[in-house]
Structure 1
Amino acid sequence: MSYVGYLSDLEHEPQTPVQYFLPLGDRRIHLNPWIGQSIKIDFLGEKACCACGRKANKLFNNGYCYPCFTKLAECDLCIVKPHQCHYHLGTCRDNEFAETNCMTPHFVYLALSSGVKVGLTRKSRGLARWIDQGAVQAIPIAEAPSRKAAGEMEYWISQHLPDKTDWRKMLTGKVDQVDLLEIREQIRQMLPPEFATYLLDERELYNFTYPILETLEKIKSLSFDKQESIEGRLIGVKGQYLIMDHSVLNIKKHTGYKVEVKLG
């Protein structure tokens, strides 16, 4: 089977195990049935902006041409540093984008992918966000009325917990043995009073399993910026990574790259 198109983020459905799909052209390739079989991906030498479709020699921020990178709200620094949101200052790049994506309820959560990390996500994207990070467990600890409010709480907690995932440990399946409920309770006891009204009493842990036949002892990450063709036996999918028998490929990092995918 052969498919041609521009890469974009892996899509998934929260089943057991997680079901993964690779959007490519007008197709949505279900990857789970191909795990254990050969895969070959050839970069065809073209890149296109994921926002405007413009052809570009170089893409920024996982798939944007330079003009979009400098103008679109979703590429502003406050997306990765939400506590620095400047909507209230009247300097937002796109007020409509902010009202739809930022001035809405957000979860502050704990996730376990390699170790425990704190993060935030729009309330409507909780499950998708946790799967994108390769989390095996997650639990929301608070619901804030906006991205900025959630970002301020996340920033405070990040002084005590990491806010980054060790992607190499995540892919090798080396996960710390911790009790998320206990850690959440410790955080609740430490939080400043101004965050108290955001706290949730939810006790249910979300658990995720991934379609992985075997794990790699050492993680080697491949890139189409260094080679035009990548092939091997597909042994799993986790987060935004295709795991092959010798290396991994971050699909999100290659958004906008035109490729031909051959399966089987």
Structure 2
Amino acid sequence: MQFEGVLRKMKTEIGDPIQYYLLFETDFLNVNQVLGKKLQISFLKYQCLNCGLERPIFRQGFCRTCFFDIPAAGDWIMHPELSTAHLGKEDRDLEYEKKMQLQPHIVYLANSSNVKVGVTRKSQVPTRWIDQGAHEAIEIVEVPNRYLAGITEVALKEHIADKTNWRKMLTNDVDDEDLVSWRDKLRSYIPEEAAPYFIQNNKETELHFPVLHYPKKVKSLNLEKTPEYKGELTGIKGQYLLFEDNTVFNVRGSEGYYVALTLS
């Protein structure tokens, strides 16, 4: 059986375990059903997620031209504290930025490899936590726009990490943490503008990933260097496919790559 198309980050569905789907233009694959089977990945060409042209991918699935032009790749995506739509100031496209920035956002704690702080739109909970490979997470504040979430994250990351160690996450070298205690401990560092939005009485969310066994030491598959790979799929965590030979493949990091997937 073969599937062909441009890679985008896997869609997920909360469950025990989480369900993963690769969506292509005319077909889709429930990746959970491939666990324990051989999967061949063949890199055929590039295809920018915005313009659709066969151009080398620069970042986030976009070619260089699109990355520096389209509103979906503005600096405020990675740095929410740079959001300006609440002031009526345009970065690249004010209408788009109002739509994305002027909606409820969550500042959260997630434990993937360590406890970290992060920001996401409320509509992306728990998807964002799943994409980061977090086995537990909790909301800290819910604010009405992206800017308030961004300045809260900036303040909190002075006292807690804001990055995930992806190697530890993929080898499952993690400890359970009391995220309620972490939430309460960090409360005093929330900026004054966001303090009224603190969430006081909530519990951790636990997430369970479809993994038969974890790699002991990961080696990352780069399709530009290795355009064809075949291995037995043994797990899915975050946006990574895990294989029996310790190879791991970052689907989201390969967005914009047009591939053929062959099952056997």
Task: Tell me if TM exceeds 0.5.
Answer: yes
Aligned to 1:177: 176
Separation (CA, whole Å) in 2 of partners of 1:65 and 1:97 = 20
CA distance in 2, matches of 1:90, 1:13: 36
Contact 1:7 1:24 (8 Å CA) reproduced: yes
Q: Tell me what 1:259 maps to.
A: 259
Alignment of 1:62-211 (within 5 A): 62-87=60-85, 88=87, 90-211=89-210
The runs of 5 or more residues in structure 1 that have no matched partner are none
Letter in 2 for 1:84: L
- Give the AA of the match of 1:97: Y
- In 2: Cα distance, 1:151 partner to 1:217 partner: 35
- The verdict on how the C-alpha distance between 1:65 and 1:73 changes in structure 2, with shifts beyond 3 A counting, is same
Deviations 1:57-80 (A, max 9, x none): x11222112221111112111211
Name 1:36's counterpart in structure 2: 36
**Residues 29-83 of structure 1: CA distance to partner in whole angstroms, max 9, x if unpaired?**
0011110111101111x11110121221x11222112221111112111211111
Find the aligned partners of 1:162 and 1:255 in 2 and give their Cα distance. 26
Amino acid at match of 2:192: P
**Deviation at residue 97 of structure 1 after TM alignment:** 1.3
Sequence identity (%) = 38
- Structure 1 length normalisation: TM-score? 0.96
Q: Over residues 11-34 of structure 1, what are the superposed CA-to-partner deviations in whole Å (9 max), with x where a residue is unaligned?
A: 110000000111123111001111
Q: Deviations over 1:104-145 (max 9, x none)?
A: 110000011110000010011111101000110111110111
- Between the aligned partners of 2:196 and 2:20, the Cα distance in structure 1 is 37
CA distance in 1, matches of 2:53, 2:26: 18
**Structure 2: distance between partners of 1:48 and 1:190:** 43
SS at 2:231's partner residue? strand
SS of 1:118's partner is strand
Alpha-carbon distance in 1 for matches of 2:115, 2:254: 27
- Kindly indicate whether residue 238 of structure 2 is the aligned counterpart of residue 233 of structure 1: no
Contact 1:41 1:261 survives alignment (8 Å): yes
Partner of 1:61: 59
Contact 1:140-1:202 within 8 A present in 2 as well: no
Cα 1:202–1:52, aligned 2, differ >3 Å: closer, same or farther?
farther
Using the TM superposition, name which of 193-202 and 245-254 deviates more: 193-202
Give the match's secondary structure for 1:155.
helix
CA deviation digits over 1:139-162, x for unaligned, max 9?
Answer: 111011110110000110011111
8 Å Cα contact 2:133-2:238 kept in structure 1: yes
Cα–Cα, structure 1 residues 186 and 54, in superposed 2: closer, same or farther, change >3 Å?
same
SS at match of 2:17: coil
| Total equivalences in the alignment | 262
User: What is the RMSD computed on CA atoms of the aligned residues?
Assistant: 1.3
Q: What secondary structure sits across from 1:71 in the alignment?
A: coil
- Secondary structure of 2:51 counterpart: coil
Contact 1:39 1:234 in 2 (8 A): yes
1:9 is paired with a residue whose SS is: coil
Residue 22 of structure 1 aligns with an amino acid whose one-letter code is L
Deviation at 1:89, TM superposition (A): 6.5
Using the TM superposition, give the Cα deviation of residue 98 of structure 1 relative to its aligned residue in structure 2, in angstroms: 1.0
Given the two structures, how large is their TM-score scaled by the length of structure 2? 0.96
AA aligned to 1:252 is R
Could you tell me whether the CA contact under 8 Å between 1:43 and 1:228 is conserved in 2? yes
Deviation at 1:192, TM superposition (A): 4.2
